[in-house]
Amino acid sequence: MPLSGEYEPSTWEWVRDQVAEFEASGGARANTLRDTGLPIVIVTTVGNKSGKLRKFPVMRVEHAGQYAIVASKGGAPTHPEWYRNLSAHPDLVEIQDGPKPADYSVRELEGGERDAWWQRAVAAYPPYAEYQARTERRIPVLLATPVGKNL
């Protein structure tokens, strides 16, 4: 079931612009991280305080129909704000990887499962390894699974 409610665009101009262009083109444009050429997906969450819809691009780390969402924030000492939204509302998530968004639920990974997805994430976007080296916090890896599908 599609998420509904008031959408509040990011305060970051590049994020606002990328989300708008990605959605307007059905994922045909603005589907890579800036000038890297590496693919992204758009994640929609519900704000944990505001209740408003929030949208942001993340690196495309897909395997067997599931996606890793890496809360790297470039190796900053704190988690990105959207991490709290996903933690507060793990069953209210959409991912758009192409023309239409789909419903997902997320959970944070631990142990060997996290390690396997972390390796996939670093393979998809090598700077993740540098980001982890920059921070003392363990960068969270969340797994997004399509709602209603047994994988």
pLDDT tens string 39-76: 999 999 999 999 999 999 999 999 999 999 999 999 99
Strands (E), the chain: 40-46, 53-59, 62-63, 66-70, 93-96, 101-108, 141-146
Other residues' Cβ atoms within 10 Å of the Cβ of residue 89: 17
Number of domains comprising the chain: 1
Q: Is residue 52 part of a domain?
A: yes
Other residues' Cβ atoms within 10 Å of the Cβ of residue 45: 26
Q: Is residue 2 part of a domain?
A: no
What pTM, to 2 d.p., does this model score? 0.95
Q: Of 58, 50, 57, 40, whose CA–CA distance to 7 is shortest?
A: 50
Q: Is residue 6 part of a domain?
A: no
Asked if 81 and 36 touch (Cβ cutoff 8 Å), the reply is: no
Q: Regarding beta strands 93-96 and 40-46, do their DSSP bridges make them parallel or antiparallel, or are they unpaired?
A: antiparallel
What pLDDT sits at residue 149? 72
Q: Give the residue numbers spanning the domain of 97.
A: 13-146
**H helices present in 43-147, as ranges:** 81-88, 111-124, 127-134
Q: Is residue 75 part of a domain?
A: yes
Whether residue 1 is predicted with pLDDT greater than 80 in this model: the reply is no
